Amino acid sequence: MSDAAVLSVETLGVRYGRRTALENLSFAVARGSVFALLGRNGAGKSSLIRCALGLQKPAHGVARLFGKDAWNTRREAMQRTGVVPEQPDAPPEMSPAELIDFCGSLYDVWDGETARARLKRFEVPPEVPFGRLSKGQRGAVMLSLALASSPELLVLDDPTLGLDVVARRALFDELIGELADRGTTVVVTTHDLGGIEAIADRVAILHGARLALDEPLESLKTRFRRLRCGRGAGAFTWAPFETKNAAERDWGREAVVTNFDEERLARFAAQPGVGDVEVGALSLEDIFLATAGAAS
């Protein structure tokens, strides 16, 4: 893996008894990038995050934080890492103000004033016990605490799960502002594909216990296209394209192609059986559905 990788895994595997949750995963997260880790429920995203943070020892392979084995150097690495868990968790009787003061005693670098200002922007009452806050407010507290240590790496495990539209938008706006100010490296698992599409640099999709893909988002959106064509003079094949979700329709045929380029399009359109061809761009959600929508 590159020396510039803030987080990396090599041939990593996770098993629970006889069940293989992850198998032979390898990828690297470059410094200053936003890395989106996607997958259906049960795909192994949380297991991978636990290994990456040194909370779980993999069955084989290694996860590294800042170039060192995460399992062996977690305490050191956590000084440089902020984490927002899927389920916001803190002592229910402590208020956000008390949590900010308490967590400040655990870190070498801590900006409590900025954390309190962030809570104010999120309209979180600083003196209300954590257990009495709404789901969105608890998530805002977790994000404020995670960013107060000025982390080099921010890990967000499905941070918008259960939030309403307004709360999701506020979280992503805050994250975008943080990235602009600091250039923090971000690893995020999420089901909010529309929200993360606006800021992700690289996307990895887990499917069937393995990485189905791992590449820059712009590259993905360039090579994935939806083709639709009317019924021409006869039969044709989708060659030279690689396809997913090919289907017959009343008006013709369509498919998602995963290796689109203009030269292949010209060869495809030259077949006698191909009618007029319509080429459509795909969103990240469309790409995800084409890649991981089928059962494992």
Count of structural domains, the chain: 2
The Cα angle at residue 24 between residues 23 and 29, in degrees rounded to 5: 115
Residues 159 and 287 in one domain: no
Q: Is 188 part of a structural domain of the chain?
A: yes
Q: Is 229 part of a structural domain of the chain?
A: yes
Distance of alpha carbon 35 from alpha carbon 200, whole angstroms: 6
Q: What is the DSSP letter of 1?
A: -
Q: Is 91 part of a structural domain of the chain?
A: no
Domain at 265, CATH number: 3.30.70
pTM, rounded to two decimals: 0.91
Domain at 28, CATH number: 3.40.50.300
Give the pLDDT confidence score for residue 164 in this predicted structure.
80
Sign of CA dihedral 139, 213, 49, 7: negative
Give the pLDDT confidence score for residue 221 in this predicted structure.
95
Residue 88 backbone dihedrals phi, psi, to 5 degrees: -55, 130
Q: Which domain holds residue 17?
A: 1-80+153-165+184-222
Which tens digits make up the pLDDT trace of 143-176?
999 999 999 999 999 888 777 888 788 888 887 7
Residues 211 and 242 in one domain: no
For all residues of the chain together, what is the average pLDDT? 91
Residues 159 and 44 in one domain: yes
Q: Is 218 part of a structural domain of the chain?
A: yes
* Helix, strand, coil share of the chain (percent; to 5): 30, 30, 35
Which tens digits make up the pLDDT trace of 54-92?
999 999 999 999 999 999 999 999 999 999 998 889 999
